[in-house]
C-alpha cells in the first residue's frame, strides 16, 4: 500500500505527534507499506513535491511543535479555478495522486483542509482526514488536536495580564484567536478568571460592557480582564452587510482596539489591548494533546488498513470514531448560546456583553 500524508492550513501543536502516531501504526500493522510525505500541504501535491519516508523520520518528534512536512494554505474557493492551460488545482492534485501511485491520501487540517479533502473524495480519490485546529470548530468531533495546548497558552497569557492589570488599575482586553467560533476564548476566559468574555456567537453591546466595567469599579475592583475573540462583534456590526462593515472599519483600529477606546472614553478607565496572536499556535504540544494526537493518528491508520475512505477521524464521548467528509466539509461547530458552560460562567459572575 502506498500512502500519501500532508499537513495543510495553519500550524498548531500536535501535528508531528499525529504524523508519528499514524506512521507507527501503519509501519507496525500494514505489510509492504510505503509512506510518502507531501511537502507544504496541498501545494506539495499540486507541485509533486514529495519524499518517501522511513520509520526513522518519525523518531523524536512526539513533543516537537510545528510539522516536519511543512504546511501552507490552499483556499477552497480557488481549487477549481483554471489556469491558462485550462487546468485547475483540483485537476493537478488528482493527476499527481495517480502519477504517484497513491492508494490513499491522509490530510491533517482544519475546516478548509476538510473542504478540499471532500473535493478530492468526490473526484474519486481515497482520502482520510484528521481534524486539526486550535479553534476546536470542526463539526462532529468533541475536540480537535491542538485545542488544549492553545487553551493552556491563552490561559497563561490571561494569568500574566492579571498582575499588571491589578498593579496599574487598568482594564485589559486580551484578543484571542477565533474568527467565527469562540471555544478557545470561552475555555481560556473561564480558566483564566476573565471578568468579561466576548464571543463571535454572542454579539455584544459596547454600552453593556462599559456598564459591567463600571459595576466592578463601584464594588471596589479597579481593574477588569476582558477575554475577546478576534471575531467578536457588536450587535450593531452584525446587522451590517459585509461591504458596510468593511467601509465602517476602513482606516480604523481593530474591533478590540475600538472597544478598548470606547470603554476608556465612557467608563473613565485606562485600557490596554494584548494580542498574543501566533503564540497560541506555537510551541510544543501539551501532554493531553500528545496523547490525543497519538490516538487520532493511530486510529487514522486503522481506518486506512480497513479501507475506510472518504471519512475523517472524530472523538465523541471519549471514543474514537469517524464522520463522512461530505457531512463535515463546510460545517462549523459553534458555541451554543445556551451552552451549559456559558450558564455556569454567568452563574459565577462572568459577563458576556449581552446582559440587559
| Catalytic residue set | 135
**Cell match 509512506: residue?**
35
Say if residues 154 and 280 touch (Cβ distance below 8 Å): yes
What are the cell numbers at 36?
A: 510518502
Instruction: Name residues whose C-beta falls within 8 Å of residue 294's C-beta, 6 or more positions apart in sequence.
Output: 17, 18, 20, 21, 62
For 82, which DSSP code? B
DSSP string across 19-79? HHHHHHHHHHHSTT-EEEEETTTHHHHHTT-EEEE-GGGGTT-TT--S-TT------GGGT
**Cell match 485545542: residue?**
147
DSSP H or E run through 248? helix 242-249
Torsional class of 118: left (φ above 0), alpha (ψ -120 to 50), beta (otherwise): alpha
Task: Measure the CA–CA gap between 285 and 274, rounded to whole angstroms.
Answer: 23
Task: Measure the CA–CA gap between 78 and 354, rounded to whole angstroms.
Answer: 38
Alpha carbons within 13 A on the beta-carbon side of 306:
10
Strands 2-7 and 104-109: parallel
Q: What phi and psi values does residue 53 have, to the nearest 5 degrees?
A: -110, 150
SS3 content of the chain, % helix, strand, coil (to 5): 45, 20, 40
Beta bridge partners of 226: 173, 196
Handedness of CA 69, 73, 75, 80 (dihedral sign): negative
DSSP, collapsed to helix, strand or coil, labels residue 221 as coil
Amino acid at each position: 500500500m502506498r500512502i500519501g500524508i500532508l499537513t495543510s492550513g495553519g500550524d498548531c501543536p500536535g501535528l508531528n505527534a499525529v504524523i508519528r502516531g499514524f506512521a507507527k501504526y501503519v509501519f507496525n500493522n500494514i505489510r509492504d507499506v510505503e509512506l510518502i510525505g507531501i511537502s507544504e500541504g496541498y501545494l506539495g501535491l499540486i507541485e509533486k513535491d514529495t519524499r518517501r519516508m522511513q520509520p526513522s523520520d518519525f523518531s523524536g518528534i512526539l513533543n516537537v511543535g510545528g510539522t516536519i512536512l511543512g504546511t501552507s494554505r490552499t483556499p477552497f474557493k480557488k481549487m477549481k479555478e483554471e489556469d491558462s492551460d485550462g487546468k485547475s488545482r483540483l485537476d493537478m492534485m488528482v493527476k499527481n495522486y495517480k502519477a504517484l501511485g497513491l492508494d490513499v491520501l491522509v490530510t491533517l487540517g482544519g475546516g478548509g483542509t476538510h473542504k478540499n479533502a471532500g473535493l478530492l473524495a468526490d473526484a474519486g480519490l481515497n482520502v482520510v482526514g484528521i481534524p486539526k485546529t486550535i479553534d476546536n470548530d470542526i463539526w462532529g468531533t468533541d475536540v480537535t488536536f491542538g485545542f488544549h495546548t492553545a487553551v493552556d497558552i491563552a490561559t497563561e497569557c490571561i494569568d500574566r495580564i492579571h498582575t499588571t492589570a491589578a498593579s496599574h488599575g487598568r482594564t485589559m482586553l486580551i484578543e484571542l484567536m477565533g474568527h467565527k467560533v469562540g471555544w478557545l476564548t470561552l475555555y481560556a476566559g473561564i480558566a483564566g478568571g476573565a471578568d468579561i468574555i466576548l464571543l463571535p456567537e454572542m454579539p455584544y453591546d459596547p454600552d453593556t460592557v462599559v456598564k459591567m466595567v463600571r459595576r466592578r469599579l463601584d464594588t471596589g475592583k479597579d481593574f477588569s480582564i476582558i477575554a475577546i475573540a478576534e471575531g467578536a462583534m457588536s450587535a450593531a456590526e452584525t446587522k451590517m452587510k459585509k461591504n458596510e462593515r468593511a467601509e465602517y472599519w476602513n482606516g480604523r483600529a481593530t474591533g478590540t482596539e475600538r472597544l478598548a477606546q470606547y470603554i476608556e472614553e465612557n467608563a473613565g478607565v485606562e485600557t490596554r489591548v494584548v494580542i498574543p496572536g501566533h503564540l497560541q499556535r506555537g510551541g510544543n504540544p501539551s501532554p493531553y494533546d500528545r496523547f490525543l494526537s497519538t490516538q487520532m493518528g493511530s486510529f487514522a491508520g486503522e481506518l486506512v488498513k480497513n479501507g475506510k475512505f472518504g471519512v475523517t477521524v472524530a472523538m465523541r464521548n471519549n471514543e474514537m470514531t469517524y464522520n463522512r467528509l461530505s457531512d463535515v466539509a463546510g460545517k462549523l461547530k459553534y458555541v451554543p448560546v445556551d451552552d451549559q458552560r456559558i450558564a455556569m460562567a454567568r452563574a459565577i459572575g462572568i459577563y458576556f456583553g449581552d446582559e440587559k
